Structure 1
């Protein structure tokens, strides 16, 4: 898989085989893999004294809906690209208008993987002592981070 900036100010991801499409689909799967969704986990960080009860009632539902809308949008873009490529090699385009939903979806996936696996700072992680499941999650998290960095550098500036 290669990722390149476009002349239009976006990114183009070129997949080479079906496993690349599965990696992109993993963004949605990983973002939804926690028992408690991200909006609720963020709401849980608010103390009662800081208005935690109001946060849960007033902010969390809208936050949850926004997160789910972004994941649905990115999921639909990925599935459309897979369909257009007939499950073979092909591109998926990230336009400047799509940059924020992509960034958010990648972030949701990374946060969920961290919540489950507790990787900690990347430079302190030894993938060789991980189980195969942990190592795969760590690699996906790094991939998501790399795409986020490219979005920040080339699209969301």
Structure 2
């Protein structure tokens, strides 16, 4: 996948191969965990976090993931007919960049939570035995690189 800046302060993703679609579709799957509850553990009981902040945060996180999922699905559906003629693209405006960044962040946090033990083992041994973990690790690296591109080209 190629990431290009646009003249209006956004970015354009140019999909080069099937693996790019797989990585993009995985964002919503990997970001499925509800992180709003996790943050409530950091608050004291008198903060009213559960009643006031948590529902709003849950809606925000959910809307980020739903937006990205819908954008990827629409681009994929539109690309099926045109793939032979030109490479498919996804345009992300400056205004949409925050939604993408948030969904990618949720996917990365979920990865770190799910594979914490394997990450520690990798640091110690330098090896990964499980194929699922290897694939997840590469997706996480993709998410990190994608977030870096979003920050470099769309955020002040």
TM-score bracket, shorter-length normalisation: 0.7 to 0.9
Unaligned runs of 5+ residues in structure 2 are none
Cα RMSD, aligned residues only: 2.0
Give the Å deviation of 1:129. 2.4
Q: Give aligned pairs, total.
A: 149
Alignment of 1:1-150 (within 5 A): 1-32=1-32, 34=33, 37-48=34-45, 51=47, 54-86=48-80, 88=83, 89-118=87-116, 119=119, 124=123, 128-150=127-149
Give the Å deviation of 1:128. 3.0
Deviations 1:93-145 (A, max 9, x none): 1110111000000001000111111136x9x4766324111111111111111
Q: TM-score, normalised by structure 1?
A: 0.85
The whole-number CA distance in structure 1 between the counterparts of 2:64 and 2:92 is: 13
Higher deviation after alignment, 22-31 or 130-139:
130-139
Unaligned runs of 5+ residues in structure 1 are none
Change (3 A) 1:103 1:126: farther
Q: TM-score, normalised by structure 2?
A: 0.86
